[in-house]
Structure 1
Amino acid sequence: MEIIPAVDLRGGRVVRLIQGDPSRETRYSQDPAAVAREWERRGAPRLHLVDLDGALLGSPANQQALREILRVIRIPAQVGGGLRSLEAVRAALDLGAAVAIVGTAAIRDAGFLEAACAAFPGRVALGLDARAGMLLTSGWVEVTVIRATDLARRVSDFPLAAIIYTDIQRDGMLEGPDLPGLAAMAAVTRVPLIASGGIGSERDIHALKALAPPVGGAIIGKALYDGRLTLEAALHAAAGTSC
């Protein structure tokens, strides 16, 4: 299981939000590239880069910061936030992203997701952000009537790089991941699953590893930035070794 540090961008800075609420923001750095390099230096196998402004506005808004990060790191990165057209997906990949994450546009239009997968097979991930199992869009502000498991089932045969499942109620709360929700997701799709939201301890990582079928990765943000969990400890927990 991969441990994937999150680098969330807002106004060119590295920040974290609690439960996706822009009014509950903590700023960590004005140098996103330095943050990304540090995670790479400490052993991260991959980074999760999110343009929060792009997610809220509907189009990419932190291109300069993303460009600089992707220029200086050597590990792969998955990039999301405001990618709502094939042109935006292509631009993210051309910028250097290994994988482009789509969410809102794919939830609203299944044809868009199918077209993106056909154009970039294996390089598109589907981001599913849910509260009580129901999907939200547009930077977590619009509630839909679509269940995350229903959409995951429908795209099971798409050539996706991954499905990234975030429980919004747990995001930034450090209270553990949504294990029942993740198990339900894993049971209905053959697409590799990445867990996000609430992961705050080695115990949480062990719990994710114990799921059957297992998840392929865990995105961790606040726990790493606040020092509650070190990247080294998280990597060892995922590998089943001791520090």
Structure 2
Amino acid sequence: MLFALSLLAALAAADPNAKVDAPAEPTLVPLLATLPEDGAWSKFEMKVEFSGQTHTVEWSVRSVGKGQQGGRDLRILETSLDQIGDLQQSVHRILVPVDGFGPNKDALGRAVRMWVKRGNDPIEMYDGIAGDAITNLWLTGATSDVKRQSEPQTIDCKGKSLKCDVFTGKSEPAVGDGTFRCDWRILQQKEVPFGLAGAKLKIRTTDGNEIDVDLKLLDYGKNAEAKLPDLLP
């Protein structure tokens, strides 16, 4: 009874014309914006156009375990580029701090370790994603001139129509001795793992070439299995 009276009093005192602040607009949009339950996975079709040729591969991302380092909670993420045609298969295994996720945070940029397995080559290890320039470019996403578009975009996946928020932006990552100029269009959707429903990326390289990447969500689910399970924090 006391709780009900308190609630009524609060409603009576509320200003019906009070302005509700809109959510803060993002200043950056990483490719993987949210952290799903462990075991979640997503699979995408990735089309890459370069020098008049188009390559189509599957790119997947999954959460495959938990760990700790110095009392800090970590999540173990893996991304895979599956071999199709003459393109080399690769697996990236990344240790990401859980507290790195949140609005205007670049969680993958705060990774504490990354292992990379390309084809039959030996495994490489880095102290974070910055050691691998192309991976850093891809996962960091848009870092400047970020804008939320007024019109959402709907995609179809798993028999569902998913309404997605659309963000555009730019980035200029250093790659080798040059700087690449990137234009992004990223689709975010709360129901899918990592909040990623698709993306388009145009890369202009230092030598004047252009690369177009189109990422389309194909499937997502639970009970992900690691491809590099023996690499632990």
Question: TM-score of the superposition, structure 2-length normalised?
Answer: 0.31
More helix by share: 1
Question: TM-score of the superposition, structure 1-length normalised?
Answer: 0.30
Larger relative contact order, structure 1 or 2 (CA cutoff 8 Å, min sep 6): 2
